[in-house]
Amino acid sequence: MGKIKFGTAGLREVMGPLPGQMNIETIQYVTQGLANYIKTFPKERWQGGVVICHDSRINSRKFAEETAKVLAGNGITAHLTADLRPTPFASFAIRYYKAISGVNITASHNSKEYNGYKVYWEDGAQVVFPHDEEITKEVMKVTKIHLAPLTDPLIKIIDESCENAYLKAIDSLKINSELDKNFGKDLLVIYSPLNGAGVTMIPKALEMWGFSNVNLVEEQKMPDGNFPTTPYPNPETEAALTLGVRDLKEKQGDLLLVSDPDSDRLSVSIIYKNETRRFSGNELGSIMLDYLIKELKPKNNFATVTTIVSTPLIKKMTKKAGGTCFEVLTGFKYIGEKIHLWEKEGIYSFLFGMEESLGFLYGTHARDKDATIAACLSAEIALFLKKEKKTFIDRLYEIYSEFGIYRESQLTLSSEKGLDFLIAKLDNIRKNPPKTLFGKAVVKTEDYFTSEAKDLLTNKTTKLDLPKSDVLAFLLEDESKYLLRPSGTEPKLKIYGHIYGKSSQYASIEKGIFELDKQIKENLDEMKSLLFT
């Protein structure tokens, strides 16, 4: 069991018979460790039990049932979903049942060979320090598994009351309810769950908001862990959207929505000037926040949360509206952690959280990214803009005109030599940081592993108020920023690039986007060859 380690998204591995791979034995050991940790707390803390959810992947139901059997075998109530359900529903159900923890069997958008085990705590967010480390320690000490049969009375199937409560919570977040009610049917939405769990909630939620004209992509509407239409069911990739784009064009839809298999991420595409335009997570997050600020007019104690690798535009927009923006490490669990903290302290009112990889949350019903609310909010924005004879592109250009043009890209490096090899490369860069990149001076470095930021102009060092993480960032004199981060679950290293230009510098917003996108791609390619040869 030596390979078990909770990364940014819990445990995620290829299914197979080996120790540390996803199989019945791994599920049993991890769950026994979780049960042992839960029972270190007073009994009244865990009387609400543990919520168990799963997606459409191969073995997901089997793994979920095995999780329930181990928990029941340890005298802990297991609230098991009747069938597959979205990740954010698991987060909601934890607080609904006042459970101490939750488990979601999913590998998000990985290929069909993978499965995973996400652990949540009583606040509805994924486990963070110290719970993640303590659970891992307990797993390593397991010598005996306690199992109950599936018929054990401590295993309870989650009924419709909890599911209806989740949908009701989503429904309460409508902003322009009269607009949705009266004109929602005029918006033609194409939706694909990518053969995943989104089909169980998103169409219902859209209809409740008033969007009844929803067409599902036929080949991708039924749950199927083989993902027969795409080898990599990630809505960030063009390949996963091919069938949805086909339907968007053929049916002349207003909006294409695509969720990943566990339905926590959402992709949005439209037809603009007869071409399909897919929005990045940074673009979509900026459009969502712009709409929330303008329509809700939040008070000055409102706060937004984004990640250190996401667009700086979120921070700039929040500040102008009188709010406070917090940056956290990669992983939506850190956003969920902030929501829980603010609810206890009452200092800030959470408005919106986002990460660049298509993760969004509006509302506090869940403490994880939620494709259901993201789909409903995107539909309302599209309808609002349609009534103004505008599109998402028009609104994005207006935002760029107001705040400047912020463009981003990333490069993923893989190695057959494994994650340790890539981490060693990153360590070498840490020991020998560049003083210039692309002909521009590096003015500041941020090392989240040592929790230190160094201003190279003043030679002053300050502490970073974030948990320790293996991330290295370089800020350049032209306000661009580049970050390097190894994956928490795969043998990959990501380079994130952020670049900025004043809208007045370019003949048009469109021209500025083209030039900045070209520049950042060249910069990332140069950075790869410069640092990893």
Per-residue pLDDT of the chain (533 residues; tens, 9 = 90+): 555 666 655 788 999 998 889 999 999 999 999 999 999 999 999 999 999 999 999 999 999 999 999 999 999 999 999 999 999 999 999 999 999 999 999 999 999 999 999 999 999 999 988 999 899 899 989 999 999 999 999 999 999 999 999 999 999 999 999 999 999 999 999 999 999 999 999 999 999 999 999 999 999 999 999 999 998 999 999 999 999 999 999 999 999 999 999 999 999 999 999 999 999 999 999 999 999 999 999 988 999 999 999 999 999 999 999 999 999 998 899 999 999 999 999 999 999 999 999 999 999 999 999 999 999 999 999 999 999 999 999 999 999 999 999 999 999 888 777 778 888 888 888 888 889 999 999 999 999 999 999 999 999 999 999 988 899 999 999 989 999 998 766 778 889 999 999 999 999 999 999 999 999 999 999 888 876 66
The amino acid that residue 427 corresponds to is D
| Distance separating alpha carbons of residues 224 and 56, to the nearest angstrom | 6
pLDDT score of 318: 98
Of 513, 521, 449, which Cα lies nearest the Cα of 486? 449
pLDDT at 424: 85
Side-chain-facing half-sphere of 512: CA atoms under 13 Å: 19
> Which pLDDT value is given to residue 82?
97
Catalytic residue status for 529: no
State residue 533's pLDDT score: 63
CATH, domain range 405-531: 3.30.310
CATH 3.40.120.10 range(s) for the chain read 11-158, 167-279, 282-402
Query: CATH classification of 167-279, choosing from 1.10.275.10, 3.40.50.620, 3.30.450.20, 3.40.120.10?
Result: 3.40.120.10
pLDDT of residue 40: 97
For residue 60, give the 3-state DSSP assignment. Answer: helix
CA 26/CA 18 separation, integer angstroms: 9
Query: For 11-158, CATH number?
Result: 3.40.120.10
- Residue 90 CA to its chain's centroid (Å): 14
> What pLDDT, on a 0 to 100 scale, did the predictor assign at position 484?
93
- Nearest CA to 497 among 433, 410, 414, 413? 410
Q: What is the pLDDT of residue 183?
A: 98
Portions of the chain given CATH number 3.30.310: 405-531
User: Which pLDDT does position 461 carry in this prediction?
Assistant: 95
Answer CATH for 282-402 from 3.30.450.20, 3.40.120.10, 3.30.70.360, 1.10.10.10: 3.40.120.10
Which of 372, 360, 268 minimizes the C-alpha distance to 307? 360
What six digits make up the tokens of 424?
């060693």
Are 120 and 131 spatial neighbours (Cβ–Cβ below 8 Å)? no
Token reading at 475: 């800020």
Catalytic residue among 56, 91, 108, 357: 108
So what's the pLDDT on residue 489? 61
> Is the distance from CB of 17 to CB of 10 less than 8 angstroms?
no
State residue 428's pLDDT score: 87
